[in-house]
């Protein structure tokens, strides 16, 4: 059971690019210790919202608070606030010229000022925590499989011991077995480390397997943010097609079968 303590508060946020409005007066709370899945149709601004919360996309209006600290505005302490985040971007965004070990050690050296040897020691622990074999530390991203790249990027996201993980389509491109293993890893890390997880995904299996709540972006706002049984009843055409279509029914039945065993 998750606490109802709000750890991220997005209030009246508007995002626009030129004349194109992506979000308008958008509100969303993220609760401490939960795994929140964020879904929506193409162009609904899921990744834009993630980038807004972590401080990479300044909104045209509204506010973002993390643990009661402003992300934007005159009182914001961006470096301090961002230290609380771990971010896994789409396709991993690893530095191709660095080994996995060097990729994970880099934030420890840059943000904490650790020596290379100390940073690499801690980086090896994070690599193991992400479920990678020890030998992968000396490999370059080009030699890794898609699943290993995701885990290496997760290890880097965990490097600074964040309170909140932000994951952008972490299982995209993975086979069902690899995606399922990644989902279970996230559950284990959440429970073991007390993390809060903000998860942008299209993966219905992920939503039904590990998410405590789901937020649906539509009509430039959060249409609904609640448990899946509540979200499924939302009288919106996209929600009905997404959750009650063949893939949605299959994912729900598979999750229910696991629960019943």
Are 7 and 65 a contacting pair, CB within 8 Å? Answer: no
Q: In the predicted model, what is the mean pLDDT of residues 122-148?
A: 94
> Can you give the pTM of this predicted structure?
0.91
| Dihedral over alpha carbons 222, 22, 206, 11 (to 10 degrees) | -40
Kindly report the number of other CB atoms within 10 A of residue 209's CB atom. 20
Give the model's confidence band at 260: pLDDT under 50 very low, under 70 low, under 90 confident, else very high: low
Higher pLDDT, 175 or 92: 175
Min mean pLDDT across 73-82, 93-102, 211-220, 223-232 is at 73-82
CATH for the 6-84+162-260 domain, from 3.10.450.50, 3.40.50.300, 3.40.50.720, 3.40.190.10: 3.40.50.300
* Model pLDDT, residue 3: 52
The mean pLDDT value for 206-230 works out to 96
Query: For residue 2, what pLDDT band results from cuts at 50, 70 and 90?
Result: very low
Q: Do residues 253 and 205 lie in contact, with contact meaning Cβ atoms separated by under 8 Å?
A: no
Q: What is the pLDDT of residues 50-81, one digit of tens each?
A: 999 999 999 999 999 988 788 887 766 666 67
Q: What is the C-alpha to C-alpha distance for residues 99 and 31, in angstroms, rounded to an integer?
A: 35
- pLDDT averaged over every residue in the chain: 91
Identify the pLDDT of residue 78.
Answer: 65
The average pLDDT across 36-58 equals 94
- Say what the pLDDT of residue 261 is: 66
Q: Which residue has the higher pLDDT, 155 or 84?
A: 155
Cβ atoms < 10 Å from Cβ of 178: 17
pLDDT band at 95 (very low <50, low <70, confident <90, very high): very high
What is the reported pLDDT for 198? 97
In the chain, % of residues over pLDDT 70: 95
Residue-level pLDDT at 65:
92
Query: In this model, does residue 204 exceed pLDDT 50?
Result: yes
Cβ neighbours of residue 67 closer than 8 Å, sequence gap 6 or more: 7, 84, 163
Cross-sheet strand order for the sheet of 164-168: 85-88, 164-168, 196-200, 35-40, 213-218, 221-226
CATH 3.40.50.300 placement within the chain: 6-84+162-260
DSSP, res 90? T
Question: Helices H, strands E: what count in the chain?
Answer: 10, 10
Query: What confidence score (pLDDT) does residue 39 get?
Result: 97
């Amino acid at each position: 059971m998750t606490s109802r303590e709000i750890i991220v508060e997005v209030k009246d946020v508007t995002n626009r690019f030129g004349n194109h409005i992506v979000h308008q007066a958008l509100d969303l709370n993220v609760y401490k210790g939960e795994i929140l899945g964020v879904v929506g149709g193409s162009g609904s601004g899921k990744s834009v919202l993630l980038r807004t919360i972590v401080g990479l996309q300044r909104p045209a209006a509204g506010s973002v608070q993390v643990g009661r600290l402003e992300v934007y505005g005159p009182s914001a302490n961006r470096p301090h606030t961002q230290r609380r985040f771990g971010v896994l971007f789409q396709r991993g965004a690893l530095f191709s010229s660095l080994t996995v070990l060097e990729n994970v050690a880099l934030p420890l050296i840059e943000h904490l000022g650790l020596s290379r040897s100390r940073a690499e020691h801690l980086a090896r622990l994070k690599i193991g925590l992400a479920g990678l074999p020890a030998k992968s530390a000396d490999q370059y991203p080009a030699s890794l499989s898609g699943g290993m790249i995701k885990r290496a990027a997760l290890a880097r996201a965990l490097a600074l011991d964040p309170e909140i993980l932000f994951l952008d389509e972490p299982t995209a491109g993975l086979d069902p077995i690899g995606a399922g293993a990644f989902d279970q890893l996230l559950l284990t890390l959440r429970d073991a480390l007390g993390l809060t997880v903000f998860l942008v995904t299209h993966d219905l299996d992920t939503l039904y397997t590990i998410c405590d709540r789901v937020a649906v972006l539509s009509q430039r706002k959060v249409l609904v943010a609640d448990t899946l049984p509540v979200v499924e009843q939302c009288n919106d055409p996209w929600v009905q097609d997404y959750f009650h279509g063949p893939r949605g029914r299959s994912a729900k039945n598979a999750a229910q079968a696991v629960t019943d065993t």
